[in-house]
Copies of this chain bind each other. A is one copy, B any other.
Amino acid sequence: MGVTKRFIYTEGINEVANIAKVFAHPARVAILKYISEQEGCICNDLVDEIGLSQATISQHLSVIGDAGLLKGRFEGKKKCYCLNLERFEEFQTLLNSFFIKTTANCC
């Protein structure tokens, strides 16, 4: 075993889980935080900022990117990463619509 049985859940549920997974690792949270705090574009200051290897940072960036949370483009040999705010807000909306309208019914 060890495989998540995605097929037994609705699409909405899987989507929440998938986006949450992006934030489920502190390196990715740190990357997003750092990127969003910067003026202008940021490249691999991330490797210095966070204490991980370039390969590892790049790997995390691709996870974040695959979820649609990044906009990036090359500026010469450097790459510029920015937060995709629309997608980020979409995630917040999704989470909110899943839970915030509910109230605890007991206990």
Number of interface residues of A (CB under 8 A): 54
Alpha-carbon distance A88/B100, docked complex (angstroms): 9
Q: A39-B105, A82-B106 are in contact. List 11 more A-B contacts (CB 8 A).
A: A9-B27, A13-B26, A21-B24, A33-B98, A36-B99, A36-B102, A40-B105, A41-B105, A73-B107, A83-B99, A85-B104
Query: A33 with B51: in contact, given A20-B24, A106-B41 (CB under 8 Å)?
Result: no
Cβ contacts A to B, 22 pairs, < 8 Å: A4-B25, A4-B26, A8-B50, A9-B27, A9-B29, A13-B30, A16-B23, A17-B24, A20-B24, A21-B24, A23-B24, A40-B105, A40-B106, A41-B107, A72-B107, A73-B107, A80-B107, A82-B105, A83-B102, A84-B104, A89-B100, A92-B96
